[in-house]
Structure 1
């Protein structure tokens, strides 16, 4: 790929390659935009097939964080880190401490947290070398694992979509198909089950599936069957690009709303599902609960769980606002979500032009 052409097209600020052979670190930090404030975005560890795949992933994810943070009303820019390696066998104290040194060298332009393939214990290692990390296990006023709060915000977003579609946001009696039963997906199952929803689930981890069947009375299906089940809502909570040419003809739902990032394989797929009559909750709007939770750590006095949850409840209104823009401008919701984020960046950017 022509990296500088891509950076110019989407107006990225910085791409940093981090290498420490002694620690086994090969990582890429991407800072997309800092108009609203320091760039916040998690550290993802993944066994990428190639370096080019890792570069493209960090670029896409960082830009997504800019839009997520802006649309959520946070005074934060967007960034991301990807670590090339197998999170099951390549993690070490030295690796994450080495990454922490690189983050410290950015002098607060970038703040990290956990993401796919990393956990709060990994963030504790990074914390040994930098203060620019959030979502820790033991620090006073730390928010800890953001997954349950991400699930809470996703649940609120699902309810907003239900209100638009059926005139009621109650989940009682609704059938929801959930793809992915990790920390977020499983917590979402509990929220929906407690409200009386019927669950259809799948996951690559059979233990997670059986736990959902046992605890929530969920119906289990194979991974390739989840797209075609009869349901009211399809909720993708695993990895991205699952709305594509192969899956769209299978969907038998009225709503697609889940916590996974980059759900549309291509933007045009957002147009296709809209034309099919499916209401799509853009991922960076509905899954913002985790980053809202982490942001609360940075406020005066440190982390306050009640304050964070009150802010996460705004996901409901943000989804409604995206739907309203979609109707107003006669555009798909994925485009409306971009407008919501871009308008805030533009407005606050003008406010901040005054020299202090």
Structure 2
């Protein structure tokens, strides 16, 4: 979302708030008046408290002699607000504070999305520009407005709540990419793509996620692997992988990569002492020295889940549990 769009949203919300305030008029208006008389003379010539009950008015008696002039009192406040006005002001102030808190929450939710789900759902963002980066504010709920740049245009959720993070099936997208491209994400949301390591970290840092990998092999066999725990660290950790809790009908080829960091051909973070695993096997992964799986390797040759022949397709997806 551009800065001008966010500014227009803020102006719209403020206009709504001002209109709401203008409708909350008071009677009498908020102006200083002389103190109202709370007592009135009765039929016996004495002053009685005004209790609100209306007594029958008697026949006026004879006017008595004028009394002596009293002592001049201290000068009072020339301008004093009615008690009723003060109560109304407090009530309105409380109402407006509540309304502004609601508007503030709505503003944060709309103008400052905390994740890609809010970004797409609330702003109805549905363009196909896969290289566009979006500002998301994952810690806004605690007052921290530090943002992450993620590729929300590759973010999709299927009908069962799975977030698809990687898809390959025909080799139409080159997965031999540099560090920044893997961090940002690439490809086409309705085709082959990689969601992006920054987005993966941003998503998996807000809850417990499971991972499922669906595999189709060139031999025709179909397998799957599920893991009850999946998380990706931040960029300072070099997107360190945490994965465990295997189940499925394929070999377990991910647990051995847990605890390792991401490597690309231009960012060698693997444990191999003599070569860059990403460059040697034409991919990018959480390599050790070098791999037990290579789902981002070159299609038809290095696209592997070893010992079950080469892959023809893969789909990685995660779900909150």
Instruction: State TM-score, norm by structure 1.
Output: 0.25
Bigger radius of gyration: 2
Structure 1 or 2: more strand by fraction: 2
Structure 1 or 2: more helix by fraction: 1
Q: Which has the higher contact order (CA 8 A, sep 6+)?
A: 1
